[in-house]
A and B are shown apart, each in its own frame.
Chain A
Amino acid sequence: MKQILQGLNEVPGVLGSMVMTEDGMVVCSALSSSFDGEVVAAFASNARLCIGKAAVQCGDGIPHEMVLEGEEGSLILLDIEDATLVVITHAGLELNTGMLEIRSLARKLRGILEIQTS
């Protein structure tokens, strides 16, 4: 898992990544020293929870992908089999092919977690 996250961090524009459980516990982290894992997990888990509740209330069901954009970067949350892949990127990554690579690596992680739970 750590290897996949390190691979993910090599995608242009990606600043760091981590995997956390649905309840915000960090499973594996590959964040650069400029980010505090505990802070990212706290806020990412809180944001995921409140957007999830709003989406369910609107009748959409639980989101499988969220992109939160700030002025200086983005936070991408991808659902991966009872866990969440958290990716921090430079601003504007959503518009290029980086997102495709992130989704592809998220599928790999989902595969690993499926094997581990079966």
Chain B
Amino acid sequence: MGIIDAWKSKSRNSKSSGGTSRREKPLSGNRHKDRLAALFHSDGRKDLLSWVGQLEARSESEAALRLLRAGVVRFHPWPQGEEQLATLEKKQFRWNLPELQDAAENQFDALSASRLADALDCLGDRAGAQLWARAAIEEDPCHPEGYLAVARAHLRKFREKSDAVAGLGALRYLTKACQLRPGHGECLRDLATMLLLLKAPKAAGKVLQPLIKAAPRDPMVLALTTLAKELPAENTSNIQELFLRWETGSEPNRALSPARVLPSPPVGQLWEIDNNRTLVATCDSASRDDKTIEYLSVVSGTLMSALPQMGIGEFVRFTSRSRGGILLGQSDGESSYFGHSQRGSHEESLHRFLNNLGDKETSR
């Protein structure tokens, strides 16, 4: 199940967990909703910081923290807000740490371990945070809190440092948490945050729908909703394509018809996709179905980016073997050539054909 699908099916307990979470109760009553919403308008940074200051002065640290977290997501990138949030979180968690440690050690369960993991991560103890988050997962692998704690740590790193590995980690752990408890309020908030960082307001808007109904005055919901309305709608629902767009800063040209025709292989179909993930050539028999092209384009972009980052050098070629056929890919540095056949026995001849094709195209 994909990450977008995972949250869709409502769980039995979605009502109890969908709106107000264990830590994030609405900031205050109805009368503040308009004022709160105004803080998230594009010129609201100064007022937001001032309100955070007022809440702190009234010793309402939890509320100040919730508001500032929402502001940092809304106005990302916002170094001043990030800095103040880090200070506030450290102060709050230093205060709470003995209580959280006590709970995690004495009445050990997934929830208390994950809360401690969150606190340690905010305090900069990444190793300790990982240890407790893993302990939460081991204690109850079917409880979403442990996965959420890991996802939140990754999400924070992804937002603050634009770290691709952290982004993929956040997606993986959020997917898992969403699958375990569809409709869980914190999962939905974090998922919407992730989608907005990937510039996918349409998908984020769908994720936010149940939260808008359940917790319309929640600062994070207001911040995310405002941001989702402001960003231009994305034209794909493929999360991996969205990730590649974030990573490379470019998107493939889907409107372009392939300008060239590749020679037909003795068996199967062929496609050529350039380094911008755009289809540039096919053989006559190849499918030009939008989904096929999008998936092959994502494979090309993903392998070009992933292999060097894993430490095994530039992408050269891949082979995928299934019961129903083989899918092959080969790169010549400027393009990726893909070949497909429904017979596994064609693997060698198709690889040879792709190899020759790459050589010819390079010399041409």
A5-13, A43-51, A109-117: which lies at the interface: A43-51
> Quick one: which of B176, B321, B326, B340 has the most chain A CB within 10 A?
B321
- Residue A25 at the chain B interface, CB threshold 8 Å: yes
Answer whether residue B350 sits at the interface, using C-beta atoms and an 8 A cutoff.
no
The number of chain B residues with a CB under 8 A from chain A is: 43
Which residues of chain A have C-beta atoms less than 8 A from B313's C-beta?
Answer: 70-73, 91
Q: B306 near A54 (CB under 8 angstroms)?
A: no
The DSSP consensus for interface residues of chain A is mixed
* Contact between chains at B312 and A47 (CB < 8 Å): no
* Contact residues in B for A66 (Cβ distance below 8 Å): 318-321
Chain A residues lying within 8 Å of B346, measured Cβ to Cβ, are: none
> What's the tally of chain A residues with a CB closer than 8 Å to chain B?
44
| Closest B residue, CB atoms, query A94 | B319
**Is B37 part of the contact surface with A, judged by Cβ < 8 Å?**
no
A57-B295, A58-B327, A73-B313 are contacts. A63–B176 as well, Cβ < 8 Å? no
Query: Do A74 and B165 form a contact, CB below 8 Å, given A47-B306, A60-B325, A61-B323?
Result: no
Q: In the complex the two chains form, what is the Cα distance from A63 to B340 in whole Å? A: 13
Q: Any chain A CB within 8 A of the CB of B291?
A: yes
Asked if residues A68 and B318 are in contact (CB atoms below 8 Å), the reply is yes
**25 A–B contact pairs at CB < 8 A?**
A23-B172, A23-B179, A34-B311, A39-B165, A45-B168, A46-B243, A46-B306, A54-B292, A57-B289, A60-B320, A60-B322, A60-B324, A61-B324, A63-B320, A63-B321, A64-B322, A65-B321, A69-B316, A70-B307, A70-B310, A70-B314, A71-B312, A71-B314, A72-B312, A75-B307
- Please list the residues of chain A having a beta carbon within 8 angstroms of any beta carbon in chain B: 23-25, 34-35, 38-47, 49-55, 57-75, 88, 91, 94
